[in-house]
Amino acid sequence: MLTGRHATSLIRPGSLTACDFREDLAWGICVEEGLNQAPRFVRVEPKDGRVQAIAPLSAAHDSIAPLRVTPHQWTNRLGYRSTGFIVWPRNYQTSSRYPAIIITHGSDADERFANVDLQWNYPAQLFAERGYVVILTNDPSARQQADLWHAYMEWSGGPGTLGPEKLRELIWINGVYSFEDAIAELASEGIVDPDRIGIAGYSRGSQMVNVAMTQSEMFRAASSGDGNYLEPASYSDPKDGYHAVFGGPPSGRYLDAYRQLSPSLRADRACAPVLQQMASPFAGAIDFYAALREAKVPAQISLYPGETTATDETHLFHIPQSAARDARESGVVRFLASRSARPGSG
C-alpha cells in the first residue's frame, strides 16, 4: 500500500485485485481470491492491515471445502529457479504415489482461483479432486540471471550477442529441464508416480508443451492450448524473433537449427499422445498435428468455432460453451488413465 512517500506491505494468503479506495485511503473494496479460495468482495483498511469479508462472488464454490495448495520453488540442473504451486488431491495419503499433471503458462501467472494465465480452461482443481497431484508452474524468471534476461531480450528484439543456440537452450530446453527436475524431485520424495505424468499448457505454455513432448521422454499425455510458435510454417510471424531463435529462415544452412527445436520436425520423437485445442486454425499447429500422425503418434485437434461460421473463437475463450467443452475434452485425464498411452506400448 502506498501512503504518501511510504509503502506498506499487506500480506494475504491469496491475491487482492480490482481494488477501489477512498481518496484518503482510509478504506477500500477489493476482490480477494486464491488458488483454493473462490473470489469474494472484501473491505481493506490499509492503515492497520485489516481485511474483512463482505460478500462472496461464487457462493457455490464457497460451499466446497478448499483443497490444500502449497507454494513451491524448484531449482533445475542448470541452477535456474522456477516458482509455482502444488494442488494436492483431497485426502492425500503419504503412503501412495499419485499420477501428476503439470500445467504451465509463462512467468506472469498470479495466485488466482481460475486465472486463465495459469490455468486457462484446464480444470486444475477438478484434476486434484480426481486424485492427481497438479503442479502449476511458471517459467524460470528471466530476472534471476543476466544471460537469461539477455536471451529474452534477444528473442523479442532480434538477433544479439548470445546467438541462436544459446538462446534456444536458455529459454526452451531450460524450461523442459525445470519440468523434468520438478517431477524427479517429487518422485524421489515418494509423492508422484513417474510413469503417470501429463502436461498441459496454453499460449506460451503451449510452446513449452510441444517442446517438452519432443525433447523429453517423461510424459504420457499432453494437452496443448492454442499455440503454434517455433514451427517453420509460422516463420513470417514474427521474422525477427525467428531469426533470433534459429538464425534465419527454415531453409539452407539454418534448417539444422529448426530440426533441433521445432516440434513438427521432431514429431517422430514425441513421447506420448498430444491433444491440441485451438481457437484458430494456425498453420504451424496443423503442421505439428500432421507430423505427429505421420509418425504414428496419437494426435487430435479440437477447433472451437466462433459465434458464426465466419468467425473463430478468441485466444482467451469468450464463449462459455467453448470453455466448458474444453474442460470436458481435455484428454489428459483420459490418456493418463492407462499406462499404455506411450506410442508403441499398446
Q: Provide CB contacts within 8 A for 56, sequence distance 6+.
A: 38, 39, 40, 41, 62
Q: Which domain holds residue 154?
A: 69-341
The reply to whether 175 falls in a domain is: yes
Q: Is residue 346 domain-resident?
A: no
Residue 156 domain-assigned (yes or no): yes
For the chain, list residues with pLDDT below 50.
333, 337-346
Q: Which of 13, 19, 304 is nearest to 2 (CA)?
A: 19
Same structural domain for residues 39 and 167? no
> What pLDDT, on the 0 to 100 scale, is given for residue 266?
98
Together in a domain, 315 and 334: yes
Written as one string, the DSSP assignment of 207-251 is HHHHHHHHH-S--SEEEEES--TT-GGGTTTTHHHHHHHHSSSSS
Asked if residue 122 and residue 26 are part of one domain, the reply reads no
3-state DSSP call for residue 165? helix
Quote the pLDDT of residue 115: 73
59: exposed, middle or buried (C-beta count within 10 Å: 0-12, 13-18, 19+)?
A: exposed
94: domain CATH number is 3.40.50.1820
pTM above 0.75, yes or no: yes
Cα separation of 120 and 326, whole Å? Answer: 10
In terms of domains, do 154 and 221 share one?
A: yes
Asked, for residue 182, whether it belongs to a domain, the answer is: yes
Residues 150 and 86 in one domain: yes
Q: Is residue 232 located within the same domain as residue 290? A: yes
DSSP β-ladder status, 6-7 and 2-3: antiparallel
99 and 207 in a single domain? The answer is yes
Q: How many domains does the chain have?
A: 2
Say whether both 37 and 134 belong to one domain.
no
Residues 31 and 76 in one domain: no
Is 99 inside a domain boundary? yes
Nearest CA to 296 out of 267, 330, 259 is that of: 267
pLDDT at 187: 97
